Chains A and B, each alone.
Chain A
Amino acid sequence: MSIVDVRTPDPKRFIPGATGDWEVIIGMEVHAQVLSNSKLFSAASTEFGNAPNANVSLVDAAMPGMLPVINEECVRQAVRTGLGLKAKINHRSIFDRKNYFYPDLPQGYQISQYKDPIVGEGKIIISVGPDRQGQFEDVEIGIERLHLEQDAGKSMHDQHPSMSYVDLNRSGVALMEIVSKPDLRSSDEAKAYLTKLRSILRYLGTCDGNMDEGSMRADVNVSVRRPGEPFGTRCEIKNVNSIRFVGQAIEYEARRQIAIIEDGGVIDQETRLFDPNKGETRSMRSKEDAHDYRYFPDPDLLPLEFDDDFVEALKADLPELPDDKKERFVRDLGLSVYDASVLVSEKAIADYFEAVAEGRDGKIAANWVINDLLGALNKAGKTIEETPVSPAQLGGIIDLIKDGTISGKIAKDLFEILWNEGGDPAELVESRGMKQVTDTGAIEKAVDEIIAANPDQVEKAKAKPSLAGWFVGQVMKATGGKANPQAVQALVKSKLGIEE
């Protein structure tokens, strides 16, 4: 692994210590479960949450004489992911055995790729911010490699006083281990990296990114140094299973290491665990039990080889990725970079937005999706998948504003009703009498009444035309918001004799 420092130390990201500033260096190894029906080397299901050992073939249980046969879809998924990471695709890769004993590792080795992975160097652009000025900064994070490997089974330790219970359902499920270069310099960057990586995987449909179910886990390598100095000794925090925890683990670990060094100590290279309850990391394995994995090419498997056509066909079929989509939203729909970034952050949001924007004004659609829909979802703690308002419903609201049927203010009420009760926007407007009043007679009557009741305000407004707005507001109030604001404005001005 070529470890080159590609970043210029940035004081914004420094961590102040007792004896001066420190810089944190972070690299990530993400294990992403490949989306596939069956396992990497067996035809058993990858489904989550089944009965113990139900998703287990005799291959997964490492019965004597059982042999691995590779799932071609897992290979395609790895190549797709490599393409999504703008990475070098290796046309020849080798599966190795990583040998160690553990009850949830039935073969006594994990089939993984060590020296010759399927995907080489690539990159991810992350967006960090906003800073105090509301600015976002794009940072390129290097990808070292991506390789395919088998997941292990699961041991449960709480079923029996002296025994552990082993379930091999996950054993042999395909994982992509995606290794970043040590290019990250803050917990925010690390979180942005994970968020972006997860988004890319979801766009590609190669991993569901579901961290709760363990479909994505991060091993975080953390070290600290004085800005600009060589890298320090790193600790690896294993299997962190949420983006928030990754942030917390890094913050804790960086401060722990700084405190040790500032106290005159040295950092031991070790594996640590993050305890989410305490918000701390703790040492996991002692060095006494140092591993010697005895990697060697798996003699049951030939080298994995494919040609250019295989890669080109996958490339041709690749979906639009977030960065490209963002660019298109800015270029073709005239959205701000900020709005576009928000909309592409998750594929489901982008899909929602595109459904709303279809045949409508992109900017208006973006405003509604970002301010109203995402705002409401956020407040309710719901994800886009759980939205009670469909793209068709939201699009309906926008159409009703556009053709003048409802005012912008009424539209907000309509959204509220759709959110709580559902229904068809046009029908609701009809049945609940929410239509905008455009009948000038009715509006004129209201204007006249307000003017008659407020002679003082009339005098003031005549002297200072900007106060005419007060009358508009009163009229809107009196009409329950249903009056067409433009019509009210025009009438008020003409009755008060204010020039346009």
Chain B
Amino acid sequence: MTELTSLTIAEARAKLSAKEITSVELTDAYIAAIEAANETINAYVDVTPEQAREMARASDARIAAGKAGPLEGIPLGIKDLFATEGVHTQACSHILDGFKPRYESTVTRNLWNDGAVMLGKLNMDEFAMGSSNESSYYGPVKNPWRAKGSNLDLVPGGSSGGSAAAVAAHLCAGATATDTGGSIRQPAAFTGTVGIKPTYGRCSRFGIVAFASSLDQAGPIARDVRDAAILLKSMASVDPKDTTSVDLPVPDYAASIGQSIKGMKIGIPKEYRVEGMPEEIEALWQQGIAWLKDAGAEIVDISLPHTQYALPAYYIVAPAEASSNLARYDGVRYGLRVDGKDIVDMYEKTRAAGFGREVKRRIMIGTYVLSAGYYDAYYLRAQKVRTLIKRDFELAFQAGVDAILTPATPSSAFGIADEDLAADPVKMYLNDIFTVTVNMAGLPGIAVPGGLDHKGLPLGLQLIGKPFEEETLFKTAHVIEQAAGRFTPAKWW
């Protein structure tokens, strides 16, 4: 059984179509793995075995009938941020208690249309706000990775911590995730998995619980680059229900894997060499540069001068949008209601009880920066800085750079309930320092494992591409993957 769960999507697909295995067998293997592991890892907040088996049976029937879709019979985990009809959809927040939507997100509908099987809903930071998965109402997720000789529990990163952990621990073949400031790439880097945040507008946001609308993008977390390409192809679409979805056909991303990167220009931004960055991260970066050079790419130094302002600007824009997006959680139409003596009291008590600390903090910041007299100084200025950040990238691309290589995170996974980080929210925010620029500029970014640090924990490299040139990222990331190898945690759970 364990053998089945170690198959990549591409491998499983081949075995399914060769009728060597059935989707029901594969699905059962995953359900068994989840049952054994989830109490420890806590990657799933809701498992849907009945539905999974039913979908798997339908897949097997379609395979038998020669009508298999691109993801036929592949069992996936879905981040709790995606609306799944009739199934737990609570953004891992207390305020959405009991919420079961009567609708399906476009991304998950695309997956089911392509034949995928849903195993359940994955843990995450509440409303996708966090970098450690510790803000979940359902408790933290444990990283399947542990430092050598240590049994200290580590975070899987966040906010897509459940997605990353489930993929790394082989509790699903692949997972959906979302990324507002790094929430796909940072957990991917922390768990030795591959995660891509596509260009803003590539995946429909319809049916995804909104955090910060101008930054949110869905993407996959997968075992390897090819699987990520296969999943993104199915997740992405042009959606008339999302005004910001872009009218461009979705390419066959997997076709770019294995293509040469000879002659490609890879930019190395000097501003990502931040103060206090561990030597190991610097070494990883240099290793990445060497691999790409070996593969025939040209390495060029570039400057993205507004990089350091991306994170502070993000911590204005994202909370501002969130403060408004989360206003609908008021106890009137769905979710938690705490009764009060009048309507205002009901609102205040419901929202006080329903939101966790980090979410409240961000709603407060967002409300403050939008309030009368502060809008220009904060929000408007941050949106102008955003224009400058985007312009930095545009200039680099205009100068002939095809992709940009950076580290994915400033460190490897840290411990759960790290006191240092808990005491200072800003310190936690610094986790996204390398990833957040990409969201601010709406660009695609992929995190791919580059190696292990001295503790034996995975480290990731990030590639940033031009808008809608995800193919460039897949083929370049594949080169790194070929050189670095793939990383699987030793099972301890």
Instruction: Let me know if chains A and B touch directly in the complex, using CB atoms closer than 8 Å.
Output: yes
Q: Does A128 contact B (CB under 8 A)?
A: no
* Inter-chain contacts of A101 with B (CB < 8 A): 327, 330, 344, 347
- CB-CB under 8 A from B105, the residues of chain A are 65
Kindly list chain B residues whose C-beta atoms are within 8 Å of the C-beta of A442.
none
Are B243 and A97 in contact, CB atoms less than 8 angstroms apart? no
User: Closest approach, in angstroms, between the C-beta of B390 and any C-beta of chain A?
Assistant: 15
- Whether the pair B214, A299 counts as a contact (CB closer than 8 A) is yes
Of all chain B residues, the one with the shortest Cβ separation from A70 is: B243
Q: A62: CB under 8 A from chain B?
A: yes
Tell me whether A307 is interfacial, beta carbon within 8 Å.
Answer: no
Query: A103: which B residues are within 8 A, CB to CB?
Result: 330, 332, 343
CB neighbours of B73 from chain A (8 A) = none
Q: How far is the CA of A67 from the CA of B379 in the complex (A)?
A: 22
The chain B residue sitting closest to A107, CB to CB, is: B328
Contacting residues, chain A, for B354 (C-beta < 8 A): none
* Residues of chain A at interface, number, CB under 8 A: 29
Bound-state CA distance A292–B83 (Å) is 32
Decide yes or no whether B488 CB sits under 8 A from chain A.
no
| Bound-state Cα–Cα, A164 to B332, Å | 11
| Chain A residues within 8 Å of B101, by CB | 63-65
Q: Which residues of A contact B244 (CB under 8 A)?
A: 300, 302
B233 close to chain A: CB less than 8 A: no
List chain B residues, Cβ under 8 A from A6: none
Chain B residues with CB under 8 Å of A65's CB are 82-83, 101, 105, 205-210
Count chain B residues whose beta carbon lies closer than 8 angstroms to a beta carbon of A. Answer: 44
Cβ proximity bits B324-342 to A, threshold 8 Å, 1 near / 0 not: 1011101011100000000
Indicate which residue in B209, B213, B328 contacts A108 across the interface (CB closer than 8 Å). B328
A-contacting 9-mer, from B44-52, B146-154, B369-377, B453-461:
B369-377
Are B333 and A106 touching (Cβ within 8 A)? yes
B40 to chain A, nearest CB (A): 30
B28 CB contacts on chain A under 8 angstroms: none
Whether, in the assembled complex, B99 has its beta carbon less than 8 Å from a beta carbon of chain A, the answer is yes
A259 part of interface (Cβ distance < 8 Å): no
**A99 near B: Cβ within 8 Å?**
yes
Q: Which residues on A sit within 8 Å (CB–CB) of B103? A: 58, 63
Main secondary structure on B side of the interface with A: loop
Cα separation A103 to B342 with both chains bound (whole Å): 12
Indicate if A109 sits at the interface (CB-CB under 8 A): yes
- Other-chain residue from A67, A106, A292 in contact with B332 (beta carbon distance below 8 A): A106
Nearest chain B CB to A330 CB, angstrom units: 48
| Contact across chains for B209 and A99 when beta carbons are under 8 A apart | no
Residues from chain A with a CB closer than 8 A to the CB of B379 are 296
Say whether A392 faces chain B, with CB atoms less than 8 Å apart: no
Q: Within the complex, which residue of A62, A296, A302 is in contact with B328, where a contact is CB–CB below 8 Å?
A: A62
* Interface residue A166 (Cβ < 8 Å from any Cβ of B): yes
Interface string of A37-65 (1 = CB under 8 A from B): 00000000000000000000010011111
A107: B residues at CB distance < 8 A: 327-328
A166 touches B327 (CB 8 A): no
By a CB distance below 8 angstroms, the chain B residues around A68 are: 243
Q: Name the contact of A292 in the complex, choosing from B102, B212, B371 (C-beta under 8 A).
A: B371
CA distance A69 to B206 in the complex (A): 11
Does B241 belong to the interface (CB within 8 Å)? yes
In the complex, are the beta carbons of A299 and B321 less than 8 A apart? yes
What's the Cα separation between A294 and B102 when bound, in Å?
A: 31
With CB as the reference atom, state the residue of chain B lying closest to A168: B333
Q: Which residue of A lies closest to B366 (CB)?
A: A294
A70–B242 alpha-carbon span in the complex (Å): 10
Per-residue interface assignment for chain A, residues 281 to 317, with 1 indicating a CB less than 8 Å from any chain B CB and 0 otherwise: 0000000000010111001111000000000000000
A132 to B89, CA, bound (A): 71
If A63-B334, A65-B206, A101-B327 touch, whether A292 touches B243 (CB-CB below 8 Å) is: no
A64 touches B91 (CB 8 A): yes
Q: Is B409 an interface residue (CB 8 A)?
A: no
Of the residues A99, A166, A299, contact of B213 by C-beta under 8 Å = A299
Task: Please give, as numbers and ranges, the residues of chain B lying within 8 Å of A97 by CB-CB distance.
Answer: 324
What mask results when residues 349 to 376 of chain B are scored 1 for a CB within 8 Å of chain A, else 0?
0000000000000000001001110010
Cα(A68)–Cα(B105), bound, Å = 14
Residue-by-residue, is B186-208 near A (CB-CB < 8 Å gives 1, otherwise 0)? 00000000000000000001111
B286-307 vs A, CB cutoff 8 Å, 1 = contact: the mask equals 0000000000000000000000
* B124 at interface by CB-CB < 8 Å: no
Chain A's closest residue to B342 (CB) is A162
B327 near A109: Cβ-Cβ < 8 Å: yes
Q: Assess whether B207 is in contact with A108, with CB atoms less than 8 Å apart.
A: no
A446 to B6: give the CA distance in the assembly, Å: 119
Q: Is B55 an interface residue (CB 8 A)?
A: no
Known: A65-B208, A299-B212. A294 touches B367 (CB 8 A): yes
Cβ-closest chain B residue relative to A289: B344
Using known A-B contacts A63-B101, A65-B209, A101-B347, determine if residue A292 contacts B327 with beta carbons closer than 8 Å. Answer: no
Q: In whole angstroms, how far apart are the Cα atoms of A107 and B333 in the complex?
A: 10
B83 partner residues in chain A, CB cutoff 8 A: 63-65
Determine the chain B residues whose CB is within 8 A of the CB of A301 once the complex forms: 243
Is B91 a contact of A292 with CB atoms below 8 Å? no
**B96: interface (CB < 8 Å):** yes
Cβ of B324: which chain A residues have Cβ within 8 Å of it? 97, 99, 108-109, 294, 296
CB distance from A54 to the nearest CB of B (A): 15
Chain A residues near B321: list those with CB within 8 A: 299
- Expressed in whole angstroms, the Cα–Cα distance for A153 and B324 within the complex equals 19
CA–CA, A70 to B209, complex, Å? 20
CB pair B243 A294 closer than 8 Å: no
The CA-CA distance from A295 to B380 in the complex, in Å, is 11
Asked if A64 and B328 sit within 8 Å, CB to CB, the answer is yes
Q: In the complex, how many angstroms separate the beta carbon of B170 from the nearest chain A beta carbon?
A: 29
A-B contact pairs, 30 of them (CB 8 A): A61-B333, A62-B328, A64-B91, A65-B82, A65-B207, A65-B209, A67-B205, A67-B206, A67-B242, A69-B240, A99-B323, A99-B327, A101-B327, A103-B332, A106-B332, A107-B328, A108-B326, A166-B332, A292-B372, A294-B323, A294-B367, A294-B370, A294-B371, A296-B375, A296-B379, A299-B212, A299-B213, A299-B321, A300-B210, A300-B213
Known interface pairs A64-B334, A301-B243; 8 further A-B residue pairs with C-beta atoms within 8 A, sorted by A's residue number = A58-B103, A65-B83, A66-B206, A67-B206, A67-B243, A294-B367, A296-B324, A299-B214
The 4 closest A-B pairs by CB, nearest first: A108-B327, A294-B370, A299-B213, A299-B214
